[in-house]
């Protein structure tokens, strides 16, 4: 299987800006910084939310956000997606009539970067989802994935201040999305999957960000049974993963990782003593 249907493009000049500053030695330096811009989302005739985003894949971000907020269903017929870059607006139109005025009043902000929201009735769907009990995570896949993802050119390596999420199949990274908020990155992948008919079967999910309640909820919403991160956990994230029987693997760097939920899916088929440790610059980014 070929790596990456979609991967970051750190050379896209619309995603970064050059800014001049002064370093610790007092020298003038030019550095790349990640941009963020507003994107206002409409579902049919109703304004839903304004998100801060780097601005790529607005169609995927819009669809994924609506899916993960239960405003769009997998069997919905999306009749059009119209993006206007001049006014930073994307409009999703569906065959089914929608009215989420009351739902919007119930939204609560989460600990996610930028504008992360979870609606009260999201948990109702969460509690009904049954993740594939027969899915597996081979440690050989885990080591190969982290190696491939870590050396892939990305805004994360180029400019920082950004999160990345990757949809994977076994040891193959398929869809790599980045954004200023990890919830945006996962929503882009959910939207791409919907628009391209990609199912959750035999998939793994990887993120550079923390394993928070929001990341667990979104992964379960997407019916993906395995979530991996190079970062750490929150207590509620672990509790929700255990409730959903989600395999939750964090601190995955080099040969090291820690699983706090769904350990029964892990197949230890690789010798960790033969795994090369991460280079120092990646270790510093992981700690930052």
**Average pLDDT in the chain:** 88
What pLDDT was estimated at residue 182? 87
Is 117 among the domain residues? no
Distances (CA, A) of 271 to 32, 142, 168, 280: 39, 12, 22, 22
Label residues 43-82 b or e (16+ Cβ within 10 Å = b): beeeebbebbbbbbbbbbbbbbbbbbbbbbeeebebeebe
Cα angle 233, 231, 49; round to 5: 80
Q: pLDDT value at position 159?
A: 74
Share of residues in the chain with pLDDT > 70 (%):
88
CATH of residue 165: 3.40.140.10
Q: Name the residue range of residue 161's domain.
A: 137-287
Task: Please indicate, yes or no, if residue 239 is contained in any of the structural domains.
Answer: yes
Residue 112: pLDDT band (50, 70, 90) is very low
For 240-264, what is each residue's pLDDT tens digit?
999 999 999 999 998 999 999 999 9
150-159, 190-199, 203-212: range with lowest mean pLDDT: 150-159
Query: Domain total for the chain?
Result: 1
For 36-52, write each residue's pLDDT tens digit: 999 999 999 999 999 99
Does any domain span residue 167? yes
137 DSSP β-pair partners = 266
Q: Kindly state whether residue 229 falls inside one of the protein's structural domains.
A: yes
Q: Pick the residue with more confidence: 70 or 91?
A: 91
Check whether 284 has a pLDDT greater than 90.
Answer: no
205 occurs within a structural domain: yes
Helix 182-195 and helix 58-68, axial crossing angle in degrees, nearest 10: 100
Q: Indicate whether 178 belongs to any domain.
A: yes
pLDDT of 35 over the 60 cut: yes
Is 275 contained in some domain? yes
Cβ-contact 241, 248 below 8 angstroms: yes
Q: Are 247 and 203 in contact (CB under 8 A)?
A: no
Confidence of residue 1 (pLDDT cuts 50, 70, 90): low
Within a domain: residue 206? Answer: yes
């Amino acid at each position: 299987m070929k790596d990456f249907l979609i991967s970051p493009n750190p050379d896209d000049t619309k995603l970064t800006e050059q800014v001049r500053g002064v370093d610790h030695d007092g020298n003038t330096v030019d550095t790349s910084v990640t941009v963020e811009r507003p994107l206002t989302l409409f579902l049919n005739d109703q304004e839903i939310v304004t998100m801060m985003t780097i601005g790529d894949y607005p169609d995927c971000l819009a669809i994924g956000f609506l899916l993960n907020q239960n405003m769009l269903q997998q069997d919905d017929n999306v009749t059009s997606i119209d993006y206007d870059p001049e006014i930073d607006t994307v409009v999703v139109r569906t065959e089914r009539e929608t009215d989420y005025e009351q739902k919007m009043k119930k939204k609560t902000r989460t600990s996610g970067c930028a504008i992360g929201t979870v609606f009260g009735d999201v948990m109702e769907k969460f509690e009904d989802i049954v993740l594939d009990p027969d899915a597996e995570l081979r440690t050989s896949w885990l080591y190969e994935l982290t190696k491939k993802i870590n050396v892939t050119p990305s805004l994360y390596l180029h400019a920082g201040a950004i999160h990345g999420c990757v949809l994977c199949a076994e040891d193959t990274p398929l869809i790599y999305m980045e954004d200023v908020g990890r919830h945006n990155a996962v929503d882009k992948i959910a939207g791409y999957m919907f628009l391209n008919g990609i199912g959750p079967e035999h998939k793994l999910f990887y993120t550079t960000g923390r394993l928070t309640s929001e990341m667990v909820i979104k992964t379960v919403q997407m019916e993906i049974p395995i979530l991996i991160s190079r970062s750490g956990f929150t207590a509620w994230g672990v509790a929700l993963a255990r409730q959903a029987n989600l395999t939750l693997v964090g601190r995955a760097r080099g040969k090291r990782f820690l699983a706090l939920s769904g350990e029964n899916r892990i197949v230890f088929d690789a010798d960790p003593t033969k795994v090369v440790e991460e280079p120092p610059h990646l270790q510093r980014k992981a700690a930052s």
